Amino acid sequence: MWIFNSCGFFSVVAKPDDQGAGKLTIRARVRDDLEALRTKFMPELEPIVSDSSLDYPHRARIARTAFAEGMKRMEKDVDYPNFKQKTFDSMGANRARIYGKI
């Protein structure tokens, strides 16, 4: 699952080790996106692990129940009429331009 929100871009997957543990892995291309996700929506996010050889070099795991609660927090944060403008305001012109191409 891809998630674009006011603090970043994320890929959420269930890696083989996650499935038995009731967890998900949240991946990002920008480490600051995961830090912002933790700060703003998902304080339960486990420590970030980085590996520059991967497509999504920054990853952190989270319990599925905590992820669901974080998604509820995200929903409550939607208070803007235009996502591209919100992206511009919160993350700058470069990120807004990139998101605008998707």
In percent, the amount of the chain with pLDDT more than 70 equals 100
Positive or negative: CA dihedral 79, 24, 37, 53: negative
Assess whether pLDDT exceeds 90 at residue 102: no
Looking at per-residue pLDDT, the higher value among 26 and 19 belongs to 26
Question: Which of 79, 80, 92 has the alpha carbon at shortest distance from 8?
Answer: 92
6 pLDDT more than 90 = no
CB 28 within 8 A of CB 35: no
Q: According to the 3-state scheme, what is the secondary structure of 1-57?
A: CEEEECCEEEEEECCHHHHHHCEEEEEECCHHHHHHHHHHCCCCCCCCEECCCCCCC
Domains in the chain, number: 1
- Domain extent, residue 66, equals 2-100
pLDDT in tens, 25-65: 999 999 999 999 999 999 999 999 999 999 999 999 999 99
